[in-house]
Amino acid sequence: MSATLDQVRAICLALPESAEKISHGIPAFSVAGKMFAYFRDDHHGDGKTVVCVKTSGREEQDLLIEADPDLYSWPAYIGPSGWIAINIAPENTDWDHVGDRIAQSWELAAPRRLLEAGGR
């Protein structure tokens, strides 16, 4: 788990003005005070290692889960607020894809001034 968290941490903290804190007992990543990623490992005994990221809403969540249910899932508690869970447990995890999804989530949370300045 440590190496997986380190990989998520490196991706998240490479984004402008990103910070890490513990929220509800798990690592959480924010930009300008707004969360854009959560790392969950066996959250409430679900047996999954995931990174949760923001989406544009329910339609995107449904499309992602339908397209690849082994990769994407509905995260407990935060799913109704537009979040999706990405399975990062497999050894063959596509970290470029995960990084792109984290960056998209960052863009959804980042303030306009960062986006107008060129963001990431």
Q: Give yes or no for residue 6 having a pLDDT over 70.
A: yes
Domain ranges of the chain: 2-112
Please say whether the beta carbons of 40 and 26 come within 8 A: yes
pLDDT at 44 over 80: yes
Give 116's pLDDT tier (boundaries 50, 70, 90).
Answer: confident
Question: What tens digit of pLDDT does each residue of 80-96 get?
Answer: 999 999 999 999 999 99
Q: Determine the Cα–Cα distance for residues 32 and 59; give it in Å rounded to an integer.
A: 27
pLDDT single digits (tens) 45-83: 899 999 999 999 999 999 999 999 999 999 999 999 999
Q: Is pLDDT at 120 greater than 60 in this prediction?
A: no
Q: E strands along the chain, which residues?
A: 18-23, 26-31, 34-41, 49-54, 72-73, 83-87
CATH number of 2-112: 3.90.1150.30
Which residue, among 74, 52, 53, has the nearest Cα to 63 in the 3D structure? 74
Confidence of residue 118 (pLDDT cuts 50, 70, 90): low
Roughly what angle, to the nearest 10 degrees, separates helices 2-13 and 95-109?
A: 50
Mean pLDDT over all residues of the chain? Answer: 94
